[in-house]
Structure 1
Amino acid sequence: MKRTNIVVGNWKMNLTIAESLELASAVIAELGSGFSGCEAGIAPTCPALYETGKLLASGPLFLAAQNCHYENDGAFTGEVSARMILGAGCSHVIIGHSERRQLFGETDEIVNRKVSKALKEGLKVILCVGETLEERESGITGDVVTRQVKAGLAGIAGIGDLVIAYEPVWAIGTGKTATSEQAQEVHALIRKTVSDLYGAEAGDGLRIQYGGSVKPSNAAELFAMPDIDGGLIGGASLNASDFAAIVKAAC
């Protein structure tokens, strides 16, 4: 099955609203009138979503949020719901990023509840999985990633609106990158795990991104791997020309 590559820039906790609009405009300018052969989007901070969404309304980039809560509303100070980010113009949401898991204590159960709610509300979900350096060195990468995939998808009936992002925690923001062969090995395992859960056709159609110090210099090699379908880009997405170059590599 021919899968369309997908690239998303995760801006994390960076940039004011004005700075977000400036960067989004620069990315659009770098990409020109549009691109074909892949999908691409950006995930600004929550305060910048609405204004950035208005800028992106005419394309070619889609708007993603970096997180959402598993309830529609209630006494959850500081949180935002799936309906709120939909209303801000988002079509996608990133869930289960390692920084959410490690810094904010998100468990597999919490991630699963968020995935379920986001899909139910009509968002497309980017589910993040990945192992720490200690887990890789202990030889349990496969166990960890398989557990995260199965737990994140527990009770989810269909995965047509889902993308999985494999992000080895030891390669996020460190400058270290999994070799293309290391990344391919884990991507193939994720695809097999999903195929076992949902059938071969669903597994073959699932798009699996790689994230972890992707740069213009290594993007093409990574994206050439048979089971790598684009990237979830952190630091490089804060530079318009670098991010545009990665999108073009994916296309």
Structure 2
Amino acid sequence: MGRQFFVGGNFKANGTKQSVSSIIDNLNKSNLPSEVEVVICPPSLYLDLAVHENKQKTVSIGAQNVFNKSCGAFTGEICAEQLLDLNINWTLTGHSERRTIIKESDEFIAEKTKYALDKGLSVILCIGETLDERKQNITLDVCARQLDAVSKIIKDWSKIVVAYEPVWAIGTGLAATPDDAEETHKGIRDHLRKTIGEDQAEKIRILYGGSVNGKNAKDFKDKANVDGFLVGGASLKPEFVDIIKSRL
């Protein structure tokens, strides 16, 4: 398989200067495995702080959001050039909370993803179904639609990591079983084989996100198509280190 294990931490709109510093200090003091790539995404207010306080070579700082245009008259938005100015090389796009609450469309998310890539950022592209869509048994149809919006305008996926996050499992304490996640991830990879080619589909990392914690992370260890995790609430806690070490 040969895909590097990847753990992302999405702090969402949580934290203070003190707590973000404390989280990073804990990571700095931890003996993290050198073979695991880690990206943490604090609120935008604390991105510069995180960059300066992070001392771990395997940990990078990412943004939670980016706009689809260059800097200009876009009140409240963050442009890729500003992230790069802060030495930030990663961003999330397509998180379900922006899809469902902010009502960002598949096409808008694809445009943001392309713009970020064109400017030199790497992207964690989030996809996933709602509970209603899961009940309708259209999980893979939803994921395919969200991915297809991106593949229509992006050919090179080498700097994209896909994060499958079932909306019904985010922040609820519910999680897909390892077998469910593996089945969905395999379906996602099979779809990507048809749209972006065998080589790119085999190389791309597909993360699972949805109430992952220090206890259940090891349960996914032997799943061939689960290449890591995008972690929400647990990334704010010391157990985040246990998730990073869950493949040891």
TM-score range, shorter chain: over 0.9
Give the unaligned 5+ runs of structure 1: none
1:165 maps to a residue whose letter is A
Q: 2:241 aligns with which of 237, 244, 249?
A: 244
| CA 1:237–1:144: 2 relative to 1, 3 Å | same
- Within a 5 Å distance, the mapping from 1:122-161 to structure 2 comes to 122-161=120-159
Higher helix share: 1
2:6 maps to a residue whose letter is I
Q: CA deviation at 1:81?
A: 0.5
2-side partners of 1:110 and 1:9: how far apart? 23
2-side partners of 1:158 and 1:119: how far apart? 9
Q: Which has the higher mean CA deviation after the structures are superposed, 51-60 or 106-115?
A: 51-60
- Within a 5 Å distance, the mapping from 1:19-58 to structure 2 comes to 19-29=19-29, 31-32=30-31, 34-56=32-54
Which secondary structure state, in structure 2, belongs to the residue aligned with residue 196 of structure 1? helix
What is the aligned partner in structure 2 of residue 8 from structure 1? 8
2-side partners of 1:172 and 1:250: how far apart? 22
Q: CA deviation at 1:90?
A: 1.3
In the alignment of these two chains, the number of paired residues is 248
Q: 1:197 aligns with which of 179, 195, 198?
A: 195
Kindly indicate whether residue 142 of structure 2 is the aligned counterpart of residue 107 of structure 1.
no
Q: 1:71 aligns with which of 69, 72, 78?
A: 69
1:237 maps to a residue whose letter is S
| CA 1:12–1:193: 2 relative to 1, 3 Å | same
Which secondary structure state, in structure 2, belongs to the residue aligned with residue 197 of structure 1? helix
2-side partners of 1:128 and 1:223: how far apart? 21
Confirm or deny: 8 A CA contact 1:6 1:250 kept in the other structure: no
Which secondary structure state, in structure 2, belongs to the residue aligned with residue 2 of structure 1? coil
| CA 1:147–1:161: 2 relative to 1, 3 Å | same
Percentage identity across paired residues of the two chains: 39
Q: Which has the higher mean CA deviation after the structures are superposed, 219-228 or 5-14?
A: 219-228
1-side partners of 2:247 and 2:231: how far apart? 12
Kindly indicate whether residue 221 of structure 2 is the aligned counterpart of residue 211 of structure 1.
no
Give the unaligned 5+ runs of structure 2: none
What is the aligned partner in structure 1 of residue 87 from structure 2? 89
